[in-house]
A and B are shown apart, each in its own frame.
Chain A
């Protein structure tokens, strides 16, 4: 046991060393840290409330008005504040979606992979059907049924995201359960559940973590994209995607309305995917896992 903890510790040390030598990963970490900071302290950082409307300050350009350094939108809300609150929406949706996906997908995938049988059959067929068309379309279908709104989006995205986690967990557990230490653990009389939770899941964690971290930008994209299409969060909640969608009509003159939220989306997604790639390189140096 102590032996395996030391190897795990040195593996972690190696992973941290690999990560800290990866320039892109560090840039990603910085970007992600910054966005999370904005999201957490949005109320303190933003000069106005995200839904504060100034009827006499509609469509101001950046720097036109001393109180609105990044201008205002088409109904007269401070754009800087909305951008900061947009980070909160984006993070709230994407992080909770991945959290829920993990909470659902991990146990289901692990049970299916470990116990096999009818359970595995049913879960595999569900995965088959869910992968028979693009996940985003499925999300849109659920939204069309449940109606828009933050909660619906989180539910809809979670329903399509847990599949990814379940599939990876199932595959990992399937290969790991045949390995020697499982047989050994069984030999000394460990119970099936103990083997599953004490031995298999910890060892399957690297690829699952990688999948979760790479799932975050996917969820960010989904929230922004749905809101862009008008299927996402409802007014007056600030969302970068919705800001881009709304800017479409004004972009000829008020270019900042389109440019700023698109930059925010791009930087956030780059940040998370650099971080995810960095994590993968650090945790899986042989690049066995493709997500």
Chain B
């Protein structure tokens, strides 16, 4: 197990290295950098000066080595768009908000998704079941920024119940600056798709597990219905639910970009977009490394979660390809 995890982390390092090479060389493969397009023509001397300041006058491979030797010490350079701070600082500041958005969304999505799925499984073909199916097919296909716009139109514009944007600045909060009224729309818009998927997976897997022979065995032992569900059905139904978590990770990561720009939330996603618009290479590079790292770690955690739930799965025995 430990050996397997070490191997996976090593593989992740290799991938990060590959990602960094690809991103770096892509960014430096086109003529022109951040300083020649939008800002108009600079005098050649001033331009050379700036290029020197950012080390852009050296050969690409030297720039790369230089960059990476700093990056392993968490020094990702200075963002072009904000020369007075560092990339690491900017990311750690905006990161906190993105994590808040993401975690609240995960809790809401999985909480309500599982509840709805369990209810739908227990009351197959009831109106709630139909509703869950309907909402989930909508939630899966319609992009979250579209849902976000609809929510804004209904609850912010038409009914005027909730603020249109912001994060923690509405002044009406549960605790300090957390759980505010302006959290509601972004979280709902963001959560709908994963919630739909979790509800679908939960329903399908519970229905399937409830028909298993070992559930009948458990009933034949005289266990109460609650115990049968808790001990025998849910444990097994968790296995496909972990799969749902695994497939939702990429959507959650990219989803944040849209939610943050729809609701004007100053998180990492929004900086990522402005970095791209400004060709802010240090920011882009750092964000990419971060996302690739996160993604790799989350997948590793999903695989470990499998082994904890299902004793038949042995890590490393045959990797899921």
Q: A133-B19, A269-B142 are in contact. Are A258 and B273 (CB under 8 A)?
A: no
Q: Please tell me if B22 contacts chain A, counting CB pairs below 8 Å.
A: yes
Task: Evaluate contact between A137 and B150: CB separation under 8 angstroms.
Answer: no
Task: Evaluate contact between A251 and B276: CB separation under 8 angstroms.
Answer: no
Complex CA distance for A262 and B150, rounded to whole angstroms = 8
Secondary structure type dominating chain A contacts: helix
Q: Please tell me if B277 contacts chain A, counting CB pairs below 8 Å.
A: yes
Complex CA distance for A5 and B128, rounded to whole angstroms = 46
Q: Please tell me if A143 contacts chain B, counting CB pairs below 8 Å.
A: yes
Q: Please tell me if B313 contacts chain A, counting CB pairs below 8 Å.
A: no
Contact of A137 among B138, B279, B288 (CB under 8 A): B288
B318 to chain A, nearest CB (A): 16
A132-B295, A141-B26, A259-B150 given; 14 more Cβ-contact pairs under 8 Å: A136-B257, A140-B276, A144-B275, A144-B276, A144-B279, A145-B29, A146-B30, A228-B258, A228-B261, A229-B273, A255-B153, A266-B141, A270-B138, A270-B142
Task: Evaluate contact between B143 and A224: CB separation under 8 angstroms.
Answer: yes
A98 to chain B, nearest CB (A): 17
Chain A residues near B15: list those with CB within 8 A: 128-129, 132
| List of 3 A-B pairs having minimum Cβ-Cβ separation, nearest first | A144-B276, A134-B250, A262-B146
Q: Which of A124-151 contact B (CB under 8 A)?
A: 128-129, 132-137, 140-146
Contact of B149 among A134, A262, A273 (CB under 8 A): A262
Chain B residues near A133: list those with CB within 8 A: 19, 250, 288, 291-292, 295
Task: Evaluate contact between B153 and A229: CB separation under 8 angstroms.
Answer: no
Residue from the set B19, B145, B261 with the largest chain A CB neighbour count within 10 Å: B145
Q: Which of A106-139 contact B (CB under 8 A)?
A: 128-129, 132-137
Contact of B143 among A144, A247, A258, A269 (CB under 8 A): A269
Task: Evaluate contact between B26 and A145: CB separation under 8 angstroms.
Answer: yes
Closest to B250 in A: A134
Task: Evaluate contact between B258 and A225: CB separation under 8 angstroms.
Answer: yes
B interface residue numbers (CB < 8 A to A): 15, 18-19, 22-23, 26-27, 29-30, 138, 140-143, 145-146, 149-150, 152-153, 157-158, 164, 250-251, 253-254, 257-258, 261-262, 272-273, 275-277, 279, 284, 288, 291-292, 295-296
Complex CA distance for A265 and B142, rounded to whole angstroms = 8
Q: Please tell me if A48 contacts chain B, counting CB pairs below 8 Å.
A: no
Task: Evaluate contact between B19 and A132: CB separation under 8 angstroms.
Answer: yes
Task: Evaluate contact between B250 and A251: CB separation under 8 angstroms.
Answer: no
Q: Please tell me if A92 contacts chain B, counting CB pairs below 8 Å.
A: no
Q: A145-B27, A225-B258 are in contact. Are A270 and B141 (CB under 8 A)?
A: yes
Complex CA distance for A266 and B295, rounded to whole angstroms = 28
Task: Evaluate contact between B157 and A265: CB separation under 8 angstroms.
Answer: no
Complex CA distance for A183 and B258, rounded to whole angstroms = 51
Chain A residues near B253: list those with CB within 8 A: 134, 137
Q: Which of A231-289 contact B (CB under 8 A)?
A: 231, 244-245, 247-248, 251-252, 255, 258-259, 262, 265-266, 269-270, 273
Residue from the set A136, A144, A245 with the largest chain B CB neighbour count within 10 Å: A144
Complex CA distance for A262 and B138, rounded to whole angstroms = 13
Q: Which of A63-116 contact B (CB under 8 A)?
A: none
Closest to B12 in A: A132
B303 to chain A, nearest CB (A): 15
Residue from the set A129, A132, A136, A142 with the largest chain B CB neighbour count within 10 Å: A132
Chain B residues near A251: list those with CB within 8 A: 149, 152-153, 157, 164
Q: Please tell me if A33 contacts chain B, counting CB pairs below 8 Å.
A: no
24 A–B contacts, CB within 8 A, in A order: A132-B292, A133-B19, A133-B288, A134-B291, A135-B250, A137-B253, A137-B291, A141-B23, A141-B284, A144-B27, A144-B279, A225-B258, A228-B261, A244-B149, A245-B261, A248-B262, A252-B157, A258-B152, A259-B150, A265-B142, A266-B141, A269-B142, A270-B142, A273-B140
Chain B residues near A140: list those with CB within 8 A: 272-273, 276
Complex CA distance for A252 and B156, rounded to whole angstroms = 8
Task: Evaluate contact between A145 and B157: CB separation under 8 angstroms.
Answer: no
Contact of A229 among B23, B27, B261 (CB under 8 A): B261
Q: A140-B276, A141-B288, A229-B273 are in contact. Are A132 and B141 (CB under 8 A)?
A: no
Complex CA distance for A11 and B18, rounded to whole angstroms = 45
Q: Please tell me if A207 contacts chain B, counting CB pairs below 8 Å.
A: no
Chain B residues near A145: list those with CB within 8 A: 26-27, 29-30, 279
Chain A residues near B157: list those with CB within 8 A: 251-252, 255
Complex CA distance for A128 and B253, rounded to whole angstroms = 18
Chain B residues near A129: list those with CB within 8 A: 15, 18-19, 22
A112 to chain B, nearest CB (A): 13
Closest to A259 in B: B153
Task: Evaluate contact between B149 and A258: CB separation under 8 angstroms.
Answer: yes
Chain A residues near B143: list those with CB within 8 A: 221, 224-225, 265, 269
Complex CA distance for A170 and B94, rounded to whole angstroms = 41
Task: Evaluate contact between B141 and A269: CB separation under 8 angstroms.
Answer: yes
Complex CA distance for A102 and B26, rounded to whole angstroms = 24
A195 to chain B, nearest CB (A): 24
